[in-house]
Structure 1
């Protein structure tokens, strides 16, 4: 489980990316890189990291479900994710 400070930092970055999205797009289109450079670093979408919505874990993230592989296994074994079952042959 990720530290609460790491989760909070990620949410802060997500807000900044949303806030400056249109401004960044406009500056890139006009090729005004000096003003683009002056925007906050955390407003760049490259600095975002995919994290599990439950635990905050960044490794083993499954994009289709938005959770990590460990949480995914637990939820599947409990039958909480519809349409997914454990493979056996």
Structure 2
């Protein structure tokens, strides 16, 4: 489980990326890199990290389902993800 502060920081970055999306796009298109550098660093989408929606874990993230491998396994075991079942052989 990630710290609440890490989750909050990620949400703050996501909001900032959305806020400055159009401005960054315009500045890149006009090749005005000086003004682009003056924007906040967290406005860059590169600084975002994929995180599990439930636990906040960033490693072992399964993009298709939006959760980490650990949470994914427990959800599959409980039968909460349709079309997926635990392999056994």
Equivalent positions of 1:45-84 (< 5 A) are 45-84=45-84
- Any gaps of 5 or more consecutive residues in structure 2? none
What's the RMSD between the two structures over aligned residues?
0.4
For this pair of structures, how many residues does the alignment match? 89
Q: What is aligned with 1:28?
A: 28
Partner of 1:42: 42
Unaligned residue ranges in structure 1 (runs of 5+):
none
Task: Provide the C-alpha distance between the structure 2 equivalents of 1:71 and 1:7, rounded to a whole number of angstroms.
Answer: 16
Displaced runs of 4 or more, over 6 A:
none
TM-score, length of structure 2 as denominator length: 0.99
